[in-house]
Amino acid sequence: MTMELVCPAGSPAALAAALENGADAVYLGLRNPTNARAFPGLNFTPEALRDAVIAAHRRGRKIYLALNTYPTPEGMALWKSSIDAAVEAGVDALIMAEMSLLDYAIRHHPDTPRHLSVQGSATTPAALRFFHEQFGISRAVLPRVLSLAQVERVCEKSPVGIEVFAFGSLCIMVEGRCQLSSFVTGKSPNCHGVCSPAEHVHWQELPGGRREVRLGEVLIDEFEAGEPASYPTVCKGRYRAGDALFYALEEPTSLNTLSLLPRLAQAGVVALKIEGRQRGPAYVAKVTNVWREALDSLGLQPQFEVRPEWQEALAHVAEGHQTTLGPYHRSWH
């Protein structure tokens, strides 16, 4: 069985890039806090979502909608109406985490498949069995904290299909449960849909072409003239500890599991997810194209080999222009 390639899109242009470069499915978010990439100007209106579904279905592809943040009591109506809008638009699955919303979806829209989001943090067959029995999930996205051996063991006993992250940003928190961002901005990524909310980000030009960036009053990083600068998050800033200035919490790097494709396929993983709904169409096009070629090659070659040009292309769009196997390579698990 060929693993499904699930790619991100934060705009109609990114959606077109994913479809044109071989995505089997594309995951989107609505333009509100119901998804974990609720940046200003990103995501889809209900009308644009309907157009996205039509465009994908015309090509025989699928659209999954991320409704994976946790509602506050006063915001419950927005989350429920977003579920209704997604189903009305004809999405192929809802990606969800919060149990009351899963309950709402199965009671009001039982025919629309439900995928457990990575935000649900289910890492054991027992947890997956609970969500399957109680809310009828048909797939689960595993958190990016498991070793490859652990993924294999979960796949072996899981009652539902398993999707794993294959490429993109990592998170040192438990999939968005970020106390750092909450402490600095007062907004939780899992409730408000974004870490480092744009209204709290402040850039300042310094003498000599240097720049500094702050989140609220917290200095996150300083960049020399011409030095590439990514979107600032507390976890990936450079800080002074003693006499050293370095990435004290997490160094910017991207997960890249190309070399693990044969083992992931053998384990029974049903889908590979590319992170990056906040990234532009060029990123989506390049990463989707590489992974489409790799998956097609995996199905054709008796001995899979990672091509150097694939790695070079992915490194070019990776955070910090470097990649890692992340938790997958933990030999002690």
In tens, the pLDDT along 36-72 reads 998 889 999 999 999 999 999 999 999 999 999 999 8
Residues 209 and 285 both lie in one domain: no
Number of domains in the chain: 2
Domain boundary among 222, 246, 270: 246
What is the pLDDT, as a whole number, of residue 1? 66
pTM exceeds 0.85: yes
Calculate Rg over the CA atoms of the chain: 20
Where in the sequence is the domain holding 124, given as residue range(s)?
4-170+253-329
What is the pLDDT, as a whole number, of residue 333? 55
Residues 229 and 275 both lie in one domain: no
What is the pLDDT, as a whole number, of residue 332? 61
What is the pLDDT, as a whole number, of residue 331? 66
Residues 262 and 237 both lie in one domain: no
Which of the 8 DSSP states describes residue 35?
A: S
Domain boundary among 190, 213, 246: 246
Residues 196 and 55 both lie in one domain: no
What is the pLDDT, as a whole number, of residue 22? 98
What is the pLDDT, as a whole number, of residue 229? 82
What is the pLDDT, as a whole number, of residue 178? 77
CB atoms near residue 176 (< 10 Å): 24
Contact between 137 and 117 under an 8 Å Cβ cutoff? The reply is no
Residues of the chain with pLDDT under 50: none
What is the pLDDT, as a whole number, of residue 231? 82
Residues 78 and 29 both lie in one domain: yes
Q: Which of 101, 34, 42, 115 is nearest to 69 (CA)?
A: 34
